[in-house]
């Protein structure tokens, strides 16, 4: 047996809530009306707040985004209140575009700087390994030089005599 659809119940709760929002909006003086729908900072309908207002489970929020019959109900009221609809894109202004370009440029600069830092760290590690190797070679050469000097001094002092 198939599970009954939850959409009719959601739609009924949404319609009742939207009716209340619309009546609250209309009861305001016309010259001072403010939207009664919950808004995002950029002026769009805050769908998550709508879902909370009508007591939807977090797993049911998606219906307000995905189901046209629910989205259209919200968008109709939003349009009447002068609010951007669900999924609306704010038209970027010239200043917004400049800021976006600057952010893109800064992001690229940060990425290049980060890459350069990784490469510098890698090169430093290689140099440290090379320095350790050369230090070991130098220490071995110094030890050999000391042995050879000691032998030479012994030869000069006559301790080492060669018979032919």
Which residues face 39 on adjacent strands?
A: 45
**Domain interval for residue 119:** 111-157
Q: Which of 81, 96, 131 is at the close of a domain?
A: 81
Tell whether 14 is covered by a domain.
yes
pLDDT of residue 16: 93
Helix (H) or strand (E) holding 131: helix 94-156
pLDDT of residue 164: 61
pLDDT of residue 155: 83
Residues 14 and 66 in one domain: yes
Label residue 29 left, alpha or beta by phi (over 0 means left) and psi (-120 to 50 means alpha): beta
Based on the number of CB atoms within 10 Å of its own CB, is 51 exposed (0-12), middle (13-18) or buried (19 or more)?
A: buried
Tell whether 164 is covered by a domain.
no
Per-residue pLDDT tens, the chain, 164 aa: give them: 677 788 888 899 999 999 999 999 899 888 888 999 998 888 888 989 999 999 888 888 888 888 888 889 999 998 988 888 887 765 566 677 788 888 889 989 999 999 999 999 999 999 999 999 999 999 999 999 999 999 888 888 877 666 66
When divided into structural domains, the chain yields a total of 2
Residues 129 and 64 in one domain: no
Q: Which of 38, 60, 81 is at the close of a domain?
A: 81
pLDDT of residue 161: 60
Residues 66 and 12 in one domain: yes
pLDDT of residue 132: 97
Residues 11 and 77 in one domain: yes
């Amino acid at each position: 047996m198939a599970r009954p659809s939850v959409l009719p119940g959601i739609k009924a709760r949404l319609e009742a809530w939207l009716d209340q929002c619309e009546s609250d909006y209309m009861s305001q003086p016309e010259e001072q009306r403010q939207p009664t729908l919950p808004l995002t900072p950029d002026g769009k309908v805050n769908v998550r707040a709508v879902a909370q207002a009508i007591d939807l489970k977090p797993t049911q929020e998606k219906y307000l985004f995905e189901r046209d019959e629910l989205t259209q109900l919200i968008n109709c009221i939003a349009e009447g209140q002068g609010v951007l609809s669900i999924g609306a894109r704010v038209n970027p202004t010239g200043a917004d575009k400049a800021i976006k370009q600057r952010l893109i440029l800064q992001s690229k600069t940060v990425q290049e700087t980060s890459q350069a830092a990784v490469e510098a760290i890698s090169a430093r590690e290689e140099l440290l390994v090379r320095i350790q190797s050369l230090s070991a070679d130098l220490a071995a050469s110094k030890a050999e030089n000391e042995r050879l000097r000691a032998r030479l001094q012994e030869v000069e002092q006559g301790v080492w005599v060669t018979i032919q």
